[in-house]
Copies of this chain bind each other. A is one copy, B any other.
Amino acid sequence: MYRSHTCGELRIINKGTQVTLAGWVQTVRKLGASITFVDLRDRYGITQLLFNEELTKQLEENPLGREFVLQTTGTVNERSNKNGNIPTGEIEIAVTSFKILNKSAVPPFTIQDDTDGGDDLRMKYRYLDLRRNAVKKNLELRYAVNRAARNYLHQQGFMDIETPFLIKSTPEGARDFVVPSRMNPGQFYALPQSPQTFKQLLMVSGYDRYYQVVKCFRDEDLRADRQPEFTQIDCEMAFVEQEDILNMFEGMIKSIFKEVKGIEYAETVQRMTWEDAMWNYGNDKPDIRFDMKVLNLKKPATVYTDKQDNAALINDAGFKVFDEAETVVAISVPGCSEYSRKQTDELTEWVKRPQIGMKGLVFIKVNADGTYKSSVDKFYPEEKLKAIADATNANAGDLILILAGAEERTRKSISDLRMEMAGRLGLRKDTEFKLLWVLDFPLFEYDEEGNRWVARHHPFTSPKPEQIETMINNNPVIDNAAEYLKHPYASIKANAYDMVLNGNEIGGGSIRIFQRELQEKMFAALGMNEEEQLHKFGFLLGAFEYGAPPHGGIAFGFDRLCSILGGSESIRDFIAFPKNNSGRDVMLDAPATIDEKQFEELQIKLNLKS
């Protein structure tokens, strides 16, 4: 061993001990000719080294630079000038000998929390970026979450069972990465998008509580914060109903909170139907750290819900914008009634940005003196403004923001606006955590292009038990595209659940179909003929013939969960070697060309478009 102690462990009680440390030179400070201070860094901390006059002379012959690897022996002394900011700040090592284990070129950026390195540079030299304390803390948090999840699941009787990575391509929605098989020319493996079917087979096999912390792969165009390979905490249970899964996995997340963040999440995890989430928050993963619920002033005649809007509050006022809009929604933003013209104009510009795409913004100021002031005073007298304000539960001093337009975009926009205003008001606190279960999702989504149904979650999700008959007994074909919402399938709810943390979906799952007949009906509903069903999922349909138990599960997005717990927006900060938005590892310079010999052996060739 090159060291007797780490750079993070020596304290005043070690005073007088002879020690050997090894680590990286963080800083060198020479005080005249007689003394040199060196901060030596390793994974565990920083320790100050003191080089006396003689050793300072030796250093002149072998000068130390930043990031040099140094081994040093000396005695632990009490510091005269103590540093209360670091745990080793009371001591220093009076060096008696040292050895430079390796030199370092000048790093392309500073190895500090507030580095001067840009994103590209840091990714290219990721091995240096990983030395920064900020990144190290993220990876330590990731490991702590991993441990906490595993320990909880182990205690609950779950077994880690590894599922294969070289499987069969069955693209449904997302694209598979494929791997040519040399031993089976002309054939390809696929990398798993998730171990979904395998974990279901394990339930059929009787392993009743399975988990894995496992890499998954999706060949999708990368948006910010999507990675082609990502990690899931993947779980499945047999002989359970939805309620069992919800209890088990809120237990897991609470256990992670406790182990990793020291947070005792004692309160009951809230639950909300998908319909309520959409209606009250415009979003299926609402952030409930703050209130600011959506008031539905107007909804289209045919929509996902039969909840009642408040159209009476805005109708018959001659305001064409509202009259012609499909949907009108409002939120009341606390304490913003004093917004200046400049501020409301800026907000209007904000909702008109292409990412939001609204045509304008209506506001009502609920003034502290009890008066109302609106951008639509012309159409709505004060008592009407008051009625709207009351319906949003506004208080004096609040600012009501109203959006109007096509249903889907307007609903999404009010959700975005709600999040934006909460951000501006400091209501989205990194240190506050609010869990939520969103339940009762629709089983199917309507695909306009194909005039057909697609699975909202995945094809293995079961309908609510009381709707199985509806599903079995109806033809999935949509005769009248305009009235697809009247098709019996439109109202089938799934036995599915998402776990939402601070407005992010961190996990999702469902009770699965376990009957062959129902599974076949599902595949057929998604437009798969019998041959295709057997080719892609014959093994699963076969397995359902031999005593498949009722089962269900959930998968957590491990990267995302870590980033939220770490108070960051970016999952990349929590992955040791992430890829950029073009799916490239700029450090490795991968992907790359391969040798002619590899093409020959695999019996494939390129077919590049011009």
**With A178-B180, A546-B128 in contact, is A166–B590 under 8 Å at CB?**
yes
**With A169-B598, A215-B162, A577-B198 in contact, is A604–B607 under 8 Å at CB?**
yes
Q: Is the CB of B546 within 8 A of A107?
A: yes
The interface stretch among A239-247, A293-301, A335-343, A350-358 is A239-247
- Contact code string A556-585 (vs B, CB < 8 Å = 1, else 0): 000000000000000000011101001111
| Chain B residues closer than 8 Å to A24, beta-carbon distance | 206, 547, 549
Q: Is the CB of A104 within 8 A of B546?
A: yes
Q: Is the CB of A130 within 8 A of B215?
A: no
Q: Is the CB of B592 within 8 A of A187?
A: yes
Q: How far is the CA of A68 from the CA of B406 in the complex (A)?
A: 52
Other-chain residue from B22, B592, B607 in contact with A168 (beta carbon distance below 8 A): B592
Q: How far is the CA of A594 from the CA of B514 in the complex (A)?
A: 27
- Contact code string A143-175 (vs B, CB < 8 Å = 1, else 0): 100110010001000011111111111010001
Other-chain residue from B215, B584, B603 in contact with A608 (beta carbon distance below 8 A): B603
The interface stretch among A53-61, A80-88, A537-545 is A537-545
Q: How far is the CA of A101 from the CA of B85 in the complex (A)?
A: 63
Q: Is the CB of B67 within 8 A of A547?
A: yes
CB distance from A543 to the nearest CB of B (A): 5
Other-chain residue from B107, B167, B171, B222 in contact with A590 (beta carbon distance below 8 A): B167
Q: How far is the CA of A202 from the CA of B140 in the complex (A)?
A: 13
User: Quick check: is A268 within 8 A (CB to CB) of the other chain?
Assistant: no
User: Quick check: is A221 within 8 A (CB to CB) of the other chain?
Assistant: yes
User: Quick check: is A183 within 8 A (CB to CB) of the other chain?
Assistant: yes
Q: Is the CB of A591 within 8 A of B165?
A: no
Contact residues of A between 214 and 263, Cβ < 8 Å to B: 215, 217, 219, 221-222, 228-229, 231, 239-241, 244
Other-chain residue from B189, B222, B591 in contact with A188 (beta carbon distance below 8 A): B591
Other-chain residue from B67, B548, B592 in contact with A169 (beta carbon distance below 8 A): B592
Contact residues of A between 21 and 40, Cβ < 8 Å to B: 22-25
Give the bracket for the number of chain A residues in contact with chain B. Answer: 35 or more
User: Quick check: is A1 within 8 A (CB to CB) of the other chain?
Assistant: yes
- Contact code string A515-535 (vs B, CB < 8 Å = 1, else 0): 100000000000000000001
CB distance from A69 to the nearest CB of B (A): 5
User: Quick check: is A371 within 8 A (CB to CB) of the other chain?
Assistant: no
Q: How far is the CA of A179 from the CA of B190 in the complex (A)?
A: 9
User: Quick check: is A182 within 8 A (CB to CB) of the other chain?
Assistant: yes
Q: How far is the CA of A102 from the CA of B518 in the complex (A)?
A: 13
User: Quick check: is A396 within 8 A (CB to CB) of the other chain?
Assistant: no
Q: How far is the CA of A161 from the CA of B139 in the complex (A)?
A: 7
- Contact code string A99-130 (vs B, CB < 8 Å = 1, else 0): 00111110100000000000000000111101
| Chain B residues closer than 8 Å to A538, beta-carbon distance | 589
User: Quick check: is A424 within 8 A (CB to CB) of the other chain?
Assistant: no
| Chain B residues closer than 8 Å to A103, beta-carbon distance | 547
With both beta carbons as reference points, the residue of chain B lying nearest to A549 in the complex is identified as B69
| Chain B residues closer than 8 Å to A25, beta-carbon distance | 547
| Chain B residues closer than 8 Å to A107, beta-carbon distance | 546
| Count of chain copies | 2
Q: Is the CB of B127 within 8 A of A205?
A: yes
Other-chain residue from B130, B182, B549, B607 in contact with A202 (beta carbon distance below 8 A): B130
Other-chain residue from B147, B231, B547, B608 in contact with A102 (beta carbon distance below 8 A): B547
With both beta carbons as reference points, the residue of chain B lying nearest to A248 in the complex is identified as B1
| Chain B residues closer than 8 Å to A535, beta-carbon distance | 592
Other-chain residue from B168, B207, B576 in contact with A130 (beta carbon distance below 8 A): B207
| Chain B residues closer than 8 Å to A179, beta-carbon distance | 177-179, 191, 591
**With A202-B576, A585-B164, A591-B181 in contact, is A606–B186 under 8 Å at CB?**
yes
Q: Is the CB of B178 within 8 A of A159?
A: no
User: Quick check: is A319 within 8 A (CB to CB) of the other chain?
Assistant: no
| Chain B residues closer than 8 Å to A131, beta-carbon distance | 205-206
User: Quick check: is A2 within 8 A (CB to CB) of the other chain?
Assistant: yes
- Contact code string A187-219 (vs B, CB < 8 Å = 1, else 0): 111110000001001101111100000010101
Q: How far is the CA of A3 from the CA of B238 in the complex (A)?
A: 10
Q: Is the CB of B130 within 8 A of A588?
A: no
Q: How far is the CA of A418 from the CA of B548 in the complex (A)?
A: 49
Q: How far is the CA of A188 from the CA of B596 in the complex (A)?
A: 13
CB distance from A341 to the nearest CB of B (A): 46
| Chain B residues closer than 8 Å to A183, beta-carbon distance | 219, 221-222, 582-583
Chain A residues with CB under 8 Å of chain B are 1-3, 22-25, 41-43, 67-69, 101-105, 107, 125-128, 130-131, 136, 139-140, 142-143, 146-147, 150, 154, 159-169, 171, 175-191, 198, 201-202, 204-208, 215, 217, 219, 221-222, 228-229, 231, 239-241, 244, 514-515, 535, 538-539, 542-550, 575-577, 579, 582-585, 587-595, 598-599, 601-609
> With A136-B206, A147-B154 given, can you name 7 additional A-B contacts, CB distance below 8 Å?
A102-B548, A104-B547, A125-B542, A166-B229, A198-B576, A599-B607, A604-B605
Q: Which 3 A-B pairs have the closest CB atoms?
A: A104-B547, A168-B590, A130-B205
Listed A/B pairs (28) with beta-carbon separation below 8 Å: A1-B244, A2-B239, A2-B241, A23-B206, A67-B547, A102-B548, A102-B549, A102-B550, A127-B205, A127-B539, A130-B206, A150-B150, A162-B231, A168-B585, A169-B598, A171-B598, A178-B602, A182-B219, A183-B219, A183-B221, A184-B582, A184-B583, A202-B576, A539-B588, A603-B609, A604-B605, A604-B607, A605-B607
